Structures are given as C-alpha cells and as structure tokens.
C-alpha cells in the first residue's frame, strides 16, 4: 500500500474509529455476544502484502517466541498453521490474483459468534465475551482437547510437551481491547489490510467495498455466515481455500448441530423411569399370576 | 466399632486375620503367594512390568513424549478405544439388569452379577483411560465442583458416567456385603434394587448416546458415510448389541476360567441363556442395520459407496452388523451355541470397528496422509495395561465374592 | 451441507419411507424365523416322556409343585435305564432332604442306587402304592409314579437349579445322545428307525457293568 495522503487519512480514520469503538465497550459480561455490537476485524486480502508485521506484533504482545524465518519469503513455500507459540500465521495463496499479484491472508482464531469450542468445553474454560473475543481461562482447563475436535477451523493448539499443558490460541487481544486498544496485529498492519471495528459496521464496509468495486472482489464475505458468523471477516479476489481458509464450513452455528442430542437429555431422563417402572410392574404382575397358577404364594425374593 | 469381624460361620475372627483370610482365599499367605506362580500370571506380570514404567513416564515427561497425538489429531486410541469402546462394551450391565428386573426374565439372574461386574470394571477402565489421556487429570472434578460447562456434550457424558459408576458400585455392593458377612446392610440394599436398576438404565441410555453426540459437531472432519445427525441414536443402539455380545463372550470365558467358582449344586444352563441373548442380539442388530441404512439415505451420499471408503463402510455394515444378525438368528433357530458365540464375537468386533471408524479412521479422513494418526508404542502399551488391569480386577473379585455363585447364607434372596 | 447432491429432498424422503416400510415388512418374517426353533428334532421327545410342568434335577429326579408342597420322583429316563424295580428304599416321614444329596434309593436286580433330591425340605408323605408295587412306578413316572411328597424350604432358589421345558428337553437330549453312542449297532439301528428303547437300557448296553453306568447318570455327571 503506497503511503500517500489519501492512504494516510484512511489509516488515521480507521485507527480513530477503532479507538472509539474500543472505548465504547460494555462492561457487563453477559454470556454470548450480540452480533451487532461485538468487535470484529475485516481482512482485505487484496491489500495484504505479506509483510508479516502482524505476526511480529502478536508474538511481542503475547510474549511468545519470534515468528519463524522473519523477512524470509521461503516461509511461504508450504502451508503454515498456527501453533502453541504462534497465534497467527500468514499464508500465501496457491493462486495468483486476476491481475497477476500474489495474495496473502493471515490465519488466527475466528472468534465465532457462536463458538463450537465454548459450547463444547466441559468446564467452560472457553468463553465468548460480549466484546467479541473468545477467551480461554487457563485455570479451569482439564485438557480434554474437545475444543480442538469441535473447532471447524482447527484453531486451538495444545502444549503436548509440557507437564501441565494448556490450550493456546489467538486471544483477540482481549486485554488490550479492555483497555480501549485495538488488537496488536491490526495496529501493526502497514497496508490497511486489517480494519478493526464493530462487526455490523465492518460487514457494511465490506459490502460497500464489493458494491463499489464489483470486479475487484469475489462477491462473498468469508465469515459472514460461516459457522453461523465469525468475528474475523475476509474479502478476497482469489478462492478462500487457496488462502488456507477452510472450505467445508457449515453456514450455521456448530453448537446447533448438537442441539438435537442435548435437548433429548431431559426428555429421556423424565420419560424413561415411568416407562421402565411400567414395564417392571407389568412383568412382575405376569410373574405373580404365573406363580399363583402353580399354587404357590409369591416368594418375595428381592 | 470393634475390630472383630465374623466369618461365614458367624464365628468372631480378629480383624487383621480377617483381611488376610479374605485376600488370600482362606489359604496361608505363603501358599497363596505360591499359587500365583502360573504361566498366565507371567504374561500379566510382563504387561505390568512394561506398562507401569510407561505410565510413570507419561506423567513425568508429558503425553507428547509417549503418544503420537498432534495438533491435527488431538484424540487417539486412549479416547477411541479405552473410553469410547470401553463404555460400549460395558453396556452388558444395564442390558442384563433390564432383562432380569424390568422384563422379569428371571432365568438370566445367574449371569446378572458377572454382567454388572463387567460393566463396573469397564467403566473403571474407561475412567482410568481418561486419567491417562487428560492433559491435567487432577482437574477432573472441576466440571462437577467448580465450573460446569453445562452446554457441553462432554459435561453430560461426565455427569452421567459418574452417576452411573456410583449406580454400578451400588449394584455390586450386595455381593461385597455378602462376602464380608455384613447382613443388615445387605438387607437394606435389597430393598433399593429396582430403583437403582431403573436409574442405571436411564443414565446408560443418556451417556451411551452422548458418546456419539461428541461427533455431531464435526461434519467437516468426519467422513460423510459415517457422519449422521443420528450419531447419538446409532451409538445407543449399538451399545445394546455390544452389551449382549460381550456378555455371551464373558460368560463363555468365565465358565472355563473360573470353573472352581461355580457352585456344583447349582448348575446353570448357560447354553439356554446364551441362546436367549442371541435372540435379542439378532433383533437388535437387524434393526441397527436398517437404521444405519436410513442414515445413509438421509445423508444422500450414495455416490460415496463406490469409493474405497464406501467399500470399508459396506464391510462394517454388511459384514459386522447384518452378518452377525443373521448368524444369531440362525444360531437360535438351530439351537447352536457355538454359532451363537461366533456371532457374539463378530457383534462385539462390529461395535469396536464402528467406534474406531468414527473416532479415529473416518475422522480426519480428508487430511493429507502424512498428517494421519497412527498410535505410538507408548499409547498401545498403556491401552493394553489398562485393559489388563481390568481383567485382573475381574479375576480378583470373581475369585472371592459371590459373583458366579450364590453365597450359602443368601440363597435365593437376590 | 450438500446433503442432497444427487437427489432432491422429495426423492430422499420417498426412499426413507420405502426403506422404513420394507424394514417393517421384513421384520415380521425375521421375528418369526428367530422364534421358530422347532422341538420336533429332539431325540428325547420321542424316546422319553418330558411333561411340561415338571422340573428335572441333573441326577434324574424330578419335582412338581402343587399347592404348597412338592412331589418328587424318578424321571422316565432313569426308570428306563434301570429297568423294573425290585423295591424303593424310602426315607422316613419328617426327615430332612437337601438338594443334591441322597433322597431315596431304588433297588433293581439286587443292586441299590441312590437318587439325589431335587429340593430342600422335609418329607411329609410317601407313595404307599409304589412301595407295594415298585415295578409299576415306570408306567406313569411323573403322575401316579410319584415317590415322595416334600414340604419345600427354599423352593424358588431350588427351582433355579432345576431344568424344565426346553431346558429339560435339552438335558434329556444330551443324555439320550450319550446312550445312543454307546448302544450296539444292531440295537442302535433298530432304535434309529423310531423304535423306543427297551426297559432296562443300561443292562442292554453293558451287561457286566450296567450298575456303574446307572450310578454315573444318577450322580448327574
């Protein structure tokens, strides 16, 4: 992204909007976040240059190890995934854009509106906050790793090598957001590919960009409906799967899929005992009648 | 409380001698120790000698050092076999309890206690598998006592399994009380039986189904031929055939291995009981086959039947669900106990195959071959160790408590 | 997901209905097949009497309940094995019986055979008619051929250790198989034609040691 006056205003405007948005956080911690007022990030991959400043900023903000091969383009040779010490990674698309450019996209926790990991966590260690981030309470985690199974984006990573291992993933800089700051990656991005704001506003922004530049983007916002909606939204002009964004994501929230089974629990718990006791009474009656037929009184053998 | 217990003839016996007597099968300690030197025990000792240090290593160095679990494959055979198969194979407890108490089929009473013991030890094995497989197993009670995640399927499984373990323990308690000669407590237990049994059946239905519900949230990761919105129903129904098959298998083995424990005055017509169970097995497996077919119809993915995965699916469905159903039916028809036992083994293998497919093989089917999961030696060793400990516990209990026979003081009272 | 790639929802639902109906239609014959084990192939049925409400002990004694008491006798198989009885040695009225221990003994050809009791209890009556005409007991071994009447002590528990109905048939089947195996070829051929065994089979099988053959059966091994 070239640094001219126009872009400077764009960056300043975005930064200002993000700051205002960050300050307007509600302090009430109601479970689940309404789609409209939660924070989100719009990732415009047509603007990403693959500089990986976001990775560096993330590792610094979270006191993690430095990203692998900094400044070395060879890192893009194979598909990269996040790990216990790398909460975000940038991948290069396997396809060139329509105008022959390379495309890049950063991958991190999608902070879904209705996260599978949070609903599936047996101790509630993963929690969707109203502000947007899906936060991890390390002190509660028992290490069952079901969040890793349930997450359709396969985001949570585990510290298998440790004696007291924890789940590691992008925190959406929840602490910084709590102080009114934007996530470290969005602040560090020099090209304006990352836009931090309210989810509803960012969706509008994304639709506006598509409407105003119909040939520039694929007419789809990745994350609008994926998994029932995520906080990280992507625009692109190459297929999202080429950017290492998972393709087979349901367009509804994943916790919904377990609804049927979970709602059957109170039904079974209520109906089984009377049904079984009814069967018991019926079969006992038949048994007693048969014994009477043999001329014997019931033996009371229980 | 006095430290004097009474033996089977109601004579007072001082406590330390009482304990030794109960443990050493009434033999002097030296003789008992000598009696343990058999070939089979040598194998068990070898398993323990390799397994226990591996277990210690797992906790010392972390699970990464012992297993092939990875970021792509967070669950391995400790979950897939020990927990998910183990709980299915322990289902004989509630199926036989239902048969005897709810359906009133008294002739199955002689196999009730071994079935409940098998169930109890199956769950203990599954929970010990959990303790090996969790990253921070000392935090296991958190879901109950600290921060329950009530929306989680795993919470439901955990609570139900925990409650059911208590129920199984209560169902085993009368045998233990008879062994120790505690008459009054034993009498009180007798009055609670039907309530405990009904509770056990309800809890079993819930968590057997919920083991399948785990995989409802992963349509993208589980192969479409195995994924279904009815996974929880499939897992519940297959637990019944697993229980039936397992009970036929376990009663056959127990009859041979524990011949000395059987009461010569009370011969049990095991053949008749196994044929009766075979009838149940035939019908349940028949229904299972059709309900799995319905699952295939609902998924609409007939095209996948013509792939390699389709052949594997067809093998599981036809070879290990339909075939044992027909074998059971034929066995009952011709009153053949040998065929019954063969069909039982196939039924059990079919359930194990299905569970391993859903949790390990068809799970992550679309991941590159280099990322697919293969169990490590350490994982295999610990799985075998836990199963062996279950078998040893079964043997210890059967050799001492009135499980395969009636306690002479309590004849006819259970 | 793309659940219905190949088929429209209507077609899928139609197939579901067809499959469900087919299953129901197939279930009925399957159920009947599973429940239709016929008894006609049983050897014992044609060779020995097996009444419906009689409970057999593995030592070939039987118990039949009526009212509060139990009638005890020797089963048809044992009668036919031993042959015509010289006498029956009854226990005294009021004596206690234990399941699996000697109840009474029968004498045939000068040899005495102990018969094990099928139930626990006290003897309350003896069949005086059989005492007077022991060789007639075999005519109706489960009816007028009863030997003792017993007041049972642990009847429910005892019954669990006895076989009746299908189990009794299987038990006698197995015993008959053993007999059939030991018979001489000529006798065997005659019997496999459908003829019933002669009275006193044991003596035909092994004239020298027929008493040990009988004792083995009566011990229930």
Higher confidence at residue B237 or residue C38? B237
Q: What's chain B's average pLDDT?
A: 88
The pLDDT of residue A16 is above 70: no
Res. C199 pLDDT band, cuts 50 70 90? low
pLDDT the model gives residue B266: 63
CB-based contact B314:B302 (threshold 8 Å)? no
Mean pLDDT value of segment B260-264: 68
Pick from C53, C65, C157: CB nearest A296 = C65
Q: Inform me whether the C-beta atom of residue A269 falls under 8 Å from chain B C-beta atoms.
A: yes
Determine the angle formed by the axes of helices C165-182 and C185-192, rounding to 10 degrees: 140
CB-based contact C151:C122 (threshold 8 Å)? yes
Higher confidence at residue C192 or residue B227? B227
| ipTM for the complex shown | 0.88
CA A117 centroid distance within chain: 8
pLDDT the model gives residue A28: 31
Res. A91 pLDDT band, cuts 50 70 90? very high
The pLDDT of residue A122 is above 80: yes
H or E segment and range at residue C122 = strand C121-126
Mean pLDDT value of segment B49-59: 93
pLDDT the model gives residue B124: 86
Query: Which of C34, C97, C219 is best to mutate for the B interface (most B CBs within 10 A)?
Result: C34
pTM: 0.77
Mark yes or no for CB contact B333/C37 under 8 Å: yes
Mark yes or no for CB contact B149/A121 under 8 Å: yes
Mean pLDDT value of segment A52-64: 95
Determine the angle formed by the axes of helices B193-213 and B153-180, rounding to 10 degrees: 150
The closest alpha carbon to C178, from C209, C203, C202, belongs to: C202
CA–CA dist C196, C77 (Å, integer): 12
Higher confidence at residue B14 or residue C147? C147
Neighbours of chain C (3+ CB pairs under 8 A): A, B
Partner A, chain B 124-163, Cβ-Cβ below 8 Å: 134-137, 139-140, 142-143, 146-156, 158
Mark yes or no for CB contact B283/C167 under 8 Å: no
For the segment A179-213, what is each residue's pLDDT rounded down to a tens digit? Answer: 999 999 999 999 999 999 999 999 999 999 999 99
Torsion of CA B381, B386, B391, B393, to 10 degrees: 140
The pLDDT of residue A178 is above 60: yes
Partner A, chain B 283-302, Cβ-Cβ below 8 Å: none
Query: How far off is chain A from B125, nearest CA to CA, in Å?
Result: 17
The closest alpha carbon to C204, from C81, C45, C47, C77, belongs to: C81
Res. A25 pLDDT band, cuts 50 70 90? very low
Pick from B264, B279, B293: CB nearest C34 = B279
- Residue A52: left if φ>0, alpha if ψ -120 to 50, beta else—which one? left
pLDDT the model gives residue C80: 82
For the segment B336-394, what is each residue's pLDDT rounded down to a tens digit? Answer: 889 999 999 999 999 999 999 999 999 999 999 999 999 999 999 999 999 999 888 88
Query: Which of C63, C156, C165 is best to mutate for the A interface (most A CBs within 10 A)?
Result: C156
Query: How far off is chain A from B28, nearest CA to CA, in Å?
Result: 36
The pLDDT of residue B22 is above 80: no
Mark yes or no for CB contact C16/B299 under 8 Å: no
**In B62-141, which residue ranges form alpha helices assigned H by DSSP?**
63-66, 77, 84-89, 92-97, 112-133
Angle CA B359–B362–B365, to nearest 5: 120
Query: How far off is chain B from A245, nearest CA to CA, in Å?
Result: 13
Query: How far off is chain B from A17, nearest CA to CA, in Å?
Result: 36
pLDDT the model gives residue B410: 67
Q: Inform me whether the C-beta atom of residue B346 falls under 8 Å from chain A C-beta atoms.
A: no
Mark yes or no for CB contact A283/B193 under 8 Å: no
Mean pLDDT value of segment A13-40: 50
pLDDT the model gives residue C81: 82
Name the burial class of residue C190, with classes exposed (0-12), middle (13-18) and buried (19+) by CB atoms within 10 angstroms of its CB: middle
Angle CA A4–A6–A8, to nearest 5: 70
pLDDT the model gives residue C40: 39
Chain C's closest residue to B263, CA to CA, is: C161
For the segment B199-232, what is each residue's pLDDT rounded down to a tens digit? Answer: 999 999 999 999 999 999 999 999 999 999 999 9
Higher confidence at residue B342 or residue A295? B342
For the segment C69-126, what is each residue's pLDDT rounded down to a tens digit? Answer: 899 999 888 888 888 888 899 999 999 999 989 999 999 888 899 999 999 999 999 9
pLDDT the model gives residue A87: 96
The pLDDT of residue A297 is above 50: no
pLDDT the model gives residue A128: 95
Count interface pairs A-C at CB distance under 8 A: 16
Q: Which residue has the tokens 């994982």?
A: B379
CA–CA dist C56, C58 (Å, integer): 6
Higher confidence at residue B38 or residue B133? B133
Higher confidence at residue B42 or residue A20? B42
Q: Which of B215-219, B248-252, C5-9, C168-172 has the lowest mean pLDDT?
A: C5-9
The closest alpha carbon to B10, from B187, B180, B175, B172, belongs to: B180
CA B290 centroid distance within chain: 25
Q: What's chain C's average pLDDT?
A: 79
H or E segment and range at residue A158 = strand A157-158
Mark yes or no for CB contact A299/C67 under 8 Å: no
Q: CA-CA distances (angstroms) from residue C149 to A50, B245, B280, C78, C88?
A: 100, 43, 39, 19, 15
Within 8 A by CB and 6+ apart from A74, the residues are none
pLDDT the model gives residue C49: 64
For the segment A217-259, what is each residue's pLDDT rounded down to a tens digit? Answer: 999 999 999 999 999 999 999 999 999 999 989 999 999 999 9
Chain A's closest residue to B155, CA to CA, is: A122
Q: CA-CA distances (angstroms) from residue A52 to A11, A44, C197?
A: 18, 15, 97
The pLDDT of residue B67 is above 50: yes
Helix then strand then coil, % of chain A, to nearest 5: 40, 10, 50
The pLDDT of residue B16 is above 80: no
CA–CA dist B41, C28 (Å, integer): 49
For the segment B275-318, what is each residue's pLDDT rounded down to a tens digit? Answer: 999 999 999 999 999 999 999 999 988 889 999 999 999 999 99
Higher confidence at residue B2 or residue A168? A168
Higher confidence at residue B31 or residue C54? C54
CA–CA dist C151, B200 (Å, integer): 39
Query: How far off is chain B from C210, nearest CA to CA, in Å?
Result: 25
Mean pLDDT value of segment C48-52: 68
pLDDT the model gives residue A32: 47
């Amino acid at each position: 992204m070239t640094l001219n006056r126009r872009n400077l205003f764009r960056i300043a405007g975005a930064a200002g909007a993000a700051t205002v948005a960050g300050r307007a956080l509600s302090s009430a911690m109601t479970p689940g976040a309404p789609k409209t007022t939660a924070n989100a990030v719009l990732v415009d991959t047509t603007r990403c240059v693959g500089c990986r400043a976001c990775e560096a900023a993330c590792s610094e903000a979270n006191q993690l190890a430095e990203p692998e091969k900094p400044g070395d383009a060879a890192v893009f040779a194979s598909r990269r995934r996040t790990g216990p010490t790398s909460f975000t990674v940038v991948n290069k698309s396997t396809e060139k854009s329509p105008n022959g450019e390379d495309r890049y996209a950063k991958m991190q926790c999608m902070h879904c509106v209705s996260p599978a990991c949070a609903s599936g966590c047996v101790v509630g260690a993963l929690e969707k906050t109203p502000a947007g981030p899906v936060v991890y309470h390390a002190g509660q985690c028992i290490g069952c790793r079901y969040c890793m199974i349930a997450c359709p984006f396969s985001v949570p990573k585990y510290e298998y090598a440790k004696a007291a291992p924890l789940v590691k993933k992008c925190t959406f800089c929840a602490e910084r957001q709590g102080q009114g700051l934007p996530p470290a990656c969005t602040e560090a991005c020099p090209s304006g590919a990352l836009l931090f704001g309210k989810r509803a506003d960012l969706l509008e922004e994304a639709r506006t960009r598509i409407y105003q530049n119909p040939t520039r983007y694929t007419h789809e916002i990745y994350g609008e409906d994926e998994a029932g909606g995520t906080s990280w939204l992507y625009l692109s002009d190459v297929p999202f799967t080429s950017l290492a964004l998972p393709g087979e994501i349901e367009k509804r929230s994943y916790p919904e899929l377990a609804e049927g089974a979970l709602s059957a629990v109170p039904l079974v718990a209520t109906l089984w005992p009377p049904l079984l006791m009814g069967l018991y009474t019926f079969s006992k009656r038949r048994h007693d009648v048969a014994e009477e037929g043999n001329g014997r009184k019931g033996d009371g053998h229980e | 409380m006095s430290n004097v217990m009474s033996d089977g003839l109601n004579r007072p016996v001082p406590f330390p001698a009482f304990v030794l007597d109960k443990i050493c099968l009434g033999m002097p300690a030296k003789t008992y120790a000598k009696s343990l030197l058999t070939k089979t025990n040598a194998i068990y000792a070898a398993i323990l000698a390799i397994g226990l240090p591996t277990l210690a290593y797992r906790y010392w160095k972390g699970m990464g050092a012992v297993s092939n679990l990875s970021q792509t494959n967070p669950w391995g055979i400790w979950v897939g076999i020990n927990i998910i198969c183990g709980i299915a194979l322990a289902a004989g407890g509630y199926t036989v309890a239902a048969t005897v108490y709810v359906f009133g089929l008294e002739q199955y009473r002689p196999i009730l206690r071994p079935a409940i013991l098998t169930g109890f030890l199956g769950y203990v094995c599954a929970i010990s598998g959990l303790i090996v497989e969790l990253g921070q197993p000392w935090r296991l009670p958190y879901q109950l006592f600290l921060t329950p995640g009530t929306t989680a399927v795993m919470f439901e499984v955990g609570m139900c399994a925990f409650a059911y373990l208590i129920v199984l323990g209560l169902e085993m308690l009368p045998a233990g009380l008879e062994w120790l000669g505690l008459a009054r407590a034993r009498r009180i237990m007798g009055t609670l039986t039907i309530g405990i049994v009904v509770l056990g059946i309800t809890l079993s239905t819930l968590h057997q189904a919920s083991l399948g519900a785990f995989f409802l949230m992963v349509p993208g990761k589980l192969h479409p031929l195995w994924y279904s919105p009815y996974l929880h129903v499939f897992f519940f129904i297959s637990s019944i055939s697993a229980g039936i098959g397992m009970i036929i298998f376990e009663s056959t083995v127990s009859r041979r291995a524990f011949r000395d424990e059987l009461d010569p005055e009370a011969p049990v017509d095991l053949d008749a009981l196994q044929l009766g169970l075979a009838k149940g097995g035939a019908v349940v497996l028949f229904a299972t086959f059709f309900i799995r077919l319905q699952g295939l119809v609902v998924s609409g993915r007939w095209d996948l039947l013509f792939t390699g995965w389709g052949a594997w699916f067809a093998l599981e469905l036809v070879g290990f669900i339909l075939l044992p159903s027909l074998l059971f039916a034929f066995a009952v028809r011709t009153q053949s106990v040998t065929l019954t036992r063969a069909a039982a083994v196939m039924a059990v293998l079919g359930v194990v195959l299905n569970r391993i497919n859903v949790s390990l093989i068809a799970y992550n089917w679309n991941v590159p071959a280099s990322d697919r999961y293969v169990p490590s030696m350490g994982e295999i060793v610990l799985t075998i160790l836990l199963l062996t400990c279950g078998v040893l516990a079964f043997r210890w209990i059967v050799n001492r408590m009135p499980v395969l026979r009636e306690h002479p003081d309590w004849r006819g009272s259970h | 997901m793309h659940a219905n790639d190949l088929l429209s929802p209507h077609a899928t639902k139609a197939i579901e209905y067809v499959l469900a109906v087919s299953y129901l239609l197939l279930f009925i014959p399957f159920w009947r097949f599973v429940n239709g084990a016929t008894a006609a192939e049983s050897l014992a049925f044609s060779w020995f009497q097996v009444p419906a409400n009689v409970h057999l002990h593995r030592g070939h004694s039987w118990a039949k309940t009526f009212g509060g008491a139990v009638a005890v006798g020797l089963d048809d198989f044992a009668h036919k094995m031993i042959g015509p009885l010289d006498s029956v040695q009854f226990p005294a009225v009021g004596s206690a019986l234990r399941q699996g221990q000697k109840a009474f003994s029968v004498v045939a050809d000068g040899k005495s055979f102990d018969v094990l009791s099928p139930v626990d209890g006290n003897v309350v009556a003896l069949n005086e008619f059989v005492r007077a005409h022991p060789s007639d007991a075999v005519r109706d071994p489960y009816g007028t051929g009863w030997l003792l009447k017993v007041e049972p002590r642990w009847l429910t528990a005892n019954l669990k250790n006895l076989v009746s109905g299908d189990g009794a048939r299987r038990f006698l089947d197995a015993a008959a198989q053993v007999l059939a195996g030991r018979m001489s070829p000529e006798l065997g051929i005659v019997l496999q034609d459908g003829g019933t065994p002669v009275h006193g089979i044991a003596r035909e099988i092994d004239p020298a040691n027929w008493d040990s053959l009988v004792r083995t059966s009566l011990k229930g091994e």
